[in-house]
Structure 1
Amino acid sequence: MKKKLLNALLLCLTASLLSGCLYPEENRTQNQVPYKDQLLTVQTAVEQFQKAEGGILPIKTRDESTPIYRKYPIDFKKIVPQYTAEIPGNAFENGGIFQYVLIDVEENPTVKLFDLRMAEKIREIKIRIKAQGYPPFKEEISKNVYTLNYKEIGYKEEPYVMSPYTNNNLPLLISGDGNIYVDYRPDLFQKIKEENLKPEQGEDIRNILVKDSEFVPAYSLPITVNKNNEPVFLMK
């Protein structure tokens, strides 16, 4: 009994030490805050690089099918240290929780962020689905978009991610091909109501969230409004 107890204590101690060694930066507050001055510094570096390189942007190559808000991650190796002294502490590449990306690369390349904790939650759900052997679809809420029966994959409560726009809890959905998405409709509903917006039906309105924020709606599906001016998925 004593030997088993000792082994258990050693296992816990080892796990604790490994956790501290492998993720020393994750719990530092400064690595979890989207400081505007850091975005401005990176924005300036991107613009200087683009000017020096004849229009080329300092981005990593991604497949053409990569969703637009994750398609152009910044390659810090191309701008550090020549155009900025160091990688921001809140960037994934420096132990932070944010991925720096560019949007509007053709007209006005602009630096934005997305929270990688979303990616981690999505990865966790996919692992559970894989272990189950199939996705336990629950209810079809739009063409080829479903809720999940989370109890079938071992969750006691429905998982969620925190909105970078409202700090509200956002649900996760699954498409027919097994991809997991964040449902930003509650954020858009709130934004439309607060600002009395009237977008056109058939128009992708996710840019409403991007316009006045440091964040992009990563892992999102295209969203438009219905005849009642309510956010709905824009499924083609």
Structure 2
Amino acid sequence: MRTIKYPAVLLIFVFLSGCMFPQSERAANNLPNDAQLAQVQSAVNQYKSQQNGLLPIRTKPNETPVFQKYQIDFTRLKETGLLATIPGTAFENGGYYQYIIIRPETEAEVKVIDLRVTDKVRELETTLHFYEQENEFTPYKEQIVPGVYSLDHEKLGLDEPPTLESPYTGNLLPLYANGSGDVVIDYRKDLNHFLKETDHSYQPGDDIRYLLTDQSPIAPAYSPPYTIKDGDPVFMQKASE
């Protein structure tokens, strides 16, 4: 288990971040079930039909990564009478999940981001940014591919390279940084598993992260894009997206 030597200001940040999440362990905060997802999906489909193709989403900057960009605005669904209550698993109702839409131009599928993963990514980003401010450089260690780098964990006060438990397989996934200093999660272990264990039609050049959302309601937020080469997952050339 890695140990972080936190600056005092960082401890305040982590405490406040933790306060964002309710302490309740009630069943409603577990992984969204099929009925909850189907209810929200039905409401999204009806809204899209009634609003001439518009989606009930919050406006996000164009550069927002695709698996974080289209966050569902439950207020719109409630105001139009398409959703009576917000799912208990949703952050807006005390849960740990941000409901989002993927493939907005076609299926407009409802998926979720696990905000506990978000919290861990932001924790490491805060540690990284404090280091950058104090030392005026990013502690990159090795280039994984152009635009993605491993971090010098010792300079960051970590006992070992940072990892995160996969929400798909339980694998420990490496945490890297892109050229902007943002933390990204490397899902290649999971993608390799599903490429070999499931039937799929993905081809070189396709963004194969959708293989993960084909298997799970959880979206691979904070990940660079991947494609397939010789049957294996590889980073796309523009790996910082």
Same fold by TM-score greater than 0.5: yes
Per-residue Cα deviation, 1:194-228 (whole angstroms, up to 9, x for no partner): 1365743333211211223212211111111233x
- Structure 2 SS opposite 1:232: strand
Structure-2 change in CA distance of 1:50 and 1:198 (3 Å): closer
Which runs of 5 or more structure 2 residues have no equivalent in the other structure? 1-15
Report the residue type matching 1:138 in the other structure. Answer: K
Task: Specify which of 207, 210, 218 is matched with residue 207 of structure 1.
Answer: 210
How many angstroms apart in 2 are the aligned matches of 1:19 and 1:73?
20
RMSD, matched Cα: 2.3
1:24 deviates by: 3.7
Structure-2 change in CA distance of 1:24 and 1:116 (3 Å): closer
How many angstroms apart in 2 are the aligned matches of 1:161 and 1:138?
18
Q: Number of matched residues?
A: 218
- Structure 2 SS opposite 1:157: coil
Which structure ranks higher in relative contact order (CA pairs < 8 Å, sequence separation ≥ 6)?
2
How many angstroms apart in 2 are the aligned matches of 1:25 and 1:90?
13
How many angstroms apart in 1 are the aligned matches of 2:18 and 2:148?
39
1:130 matched to 2:129? The reply is yes
1:190 deviates by: 0.7
Partner of 1:104: 103
Per-residue Cα deviation, 1:116-163 (whole angstroms, up to 9, x for no partner): 112111111111112212321111111121111122112223332222
**Residues 77-116 of structure 1 mapped to structure 2, 5 A cutoff:** 77-80=75-78, 82-116=81-115
- Structure 2 SS opposite 1:44: helix
Which runs of 5 or more structure 1 residues have no equivalent in the other structure? 1-17
Task: Specify which of 221, 232, 235 is matched with residue 234 of structure 2.
Answer: 232
8 A contact 1:144–1:176 mirrored in 2: yes
Q: TM-score, normalised by structure 1?
A: 0.84
How many angstroms apart in 2 are the aligned matches of 1:28 and 1:179?
33
Structure-2 change in CA distance of 1:103 and 1:196 (3 Å): closer
Task: Specify which of 36, 45, 48 is matched with residue 46 of structure 2.
Answer: 48
Partner of 1:194: 197
Q: TM-score, normalised by structure 2?
A: 0.82
TM superposition outliers: structure 1 runs of 4+ over 6 Å:
18-22
Partner of 1:5: none
